[in-house]
Homo-oligomer: A and B are copies of this chain.
């Protein structure tokens, strides 16, 4: 059952997927459905003895290509619609214990090609308006499977948060004749205090207005609407940017930091926002400290206003230090 219902108060679609109640929840490692199928073992989602990267359709999809007409007609104010779309799972490795942070850049570089391919393919589907590539990592984020993986949702609408960003970017372009993200990146470069990584083609920084203490944004320096438009050299640098940031996240508190990773690209519906997108990636780790999490509570959920107890300048310095520690560590390992 995939159904959309319109919330006329917040003017947003809410998606219902009741079969998701039965989704696999934190199985013991030997029953991980994302591991390769061992000979003689139980059949997992991947019918092979090993793999590098694998993509398959989510068995418990939030949106489905063959969603039927909703049985609830809805009302004049709150109509319903089919929950059409596509949900995929992207396995980063066949090693159950791996994390993206600990993989070689080469693997991340391959993963980028997979993301490009999926963005293109899902984006071409008639029912998909927006391709959203993301990763939920760690139990603090509520993952139901530990095996290293990300997800892709092909939404049948441009979701509220990307839409709000695109709207701001369009507004900025109309008013100033320039890209909002390019202009912001110039401001971050000029200030410098919150820069975490500056490669040849990508810059990672804690934004001046971060909502999570260790939030990081990764911006393509060239104004490209999606990953499809990246050159080989740009993809190399994106892989390096990922590797550096994620290594820093692992070094920060000496454990594999939970986070939400989200990629923002041009909608694929050929609509009004096609010309204003600037490809960027956001990482939101929930940790305020090694022990304490930032919760979304009354102010964030009820009022939509974030209250933050750490200044971005401070957390950027701490995170930059952790990234340097991680790089020095891996260089040492490389030398021995």
Contacts and interface: CB of A to CB of B under 8 A. Distances in A.
B135 A298 contact: yes
Interface stretch (A3-11, A48-56, A105-113, A246-254): A3-11
Given A297-B136, A309-B18, A311-B16, A11 B303 contact: no
B296 A296 contact: yes
A13 interface: yes
Contacts of A187: 75-78
A306 B78 contact: no
A295 B181 CA distance: 29
Interface string A236-262: 000000000000000000000000111
Contacts of A9: 165, 168-169, 180-181, 184
Interface in A196-230: 207-211
Contacts of A302: 132, 134, 161, 260-262, 282, 284
A20 interface: yes
Contacts of A169: 9
Contacts of A309: 16-21
Interface in A63-94: 74-78
Contacts of A6: 209
A210 B14 contact: yes
A98 interface: no
B18 A74 contact: no
B78 A160 contact: no
B141 A295 contact: yes
Interface stretch (A115-123, A151-159, A324-332): A151-159
Given A262-B298, A303-B262, A208 B292 contact: no
A287 interface: no
Interface of A: 5-21, 25, 62, 74-78, 130, 132, 134-136, 141-143, 151, 153, 155, 159-165, 168-169, 172, 180-181, 183-184, 187, 191, 207-211, 260-262, 282, 284, 288, 292-299, 301-311
User: 8 closest pairs, A vs B, by CB?
Assistant: A142-B295, A262-B302, A161-B304, A160-B304, A134-B298, A159-B303, A7-B209, A20-B309
Given A62-B299, A75-B191, A134-B298, 17 more contacts: A5-B208, A8-B180, A10-B164, A11-B168, A14-B211, A14-B305, A21-B310, A132-B299, A134-B299, A153-B299, A159-B305, A161-B304, A162-B304, A163-B304, A260-B298, A261-B302, A296-B296
30 contacts: A6-B209, A8-B172, A8-B209, A9-B168, A9-B180, A10-B165, A12-B304, A14-B305, A14-B306, A15-B307, A15-B308, A16-B307, A16-B308, A17-B307, A18-B311, A77-B180, A77-B183, A77-B187, A135-B298, A136-B295, A136-B297, A141-B297, A142-B293, A153-B298, A155-B303, A155-B305, A159-B305, A260-B298, A262-B303, A282-B302
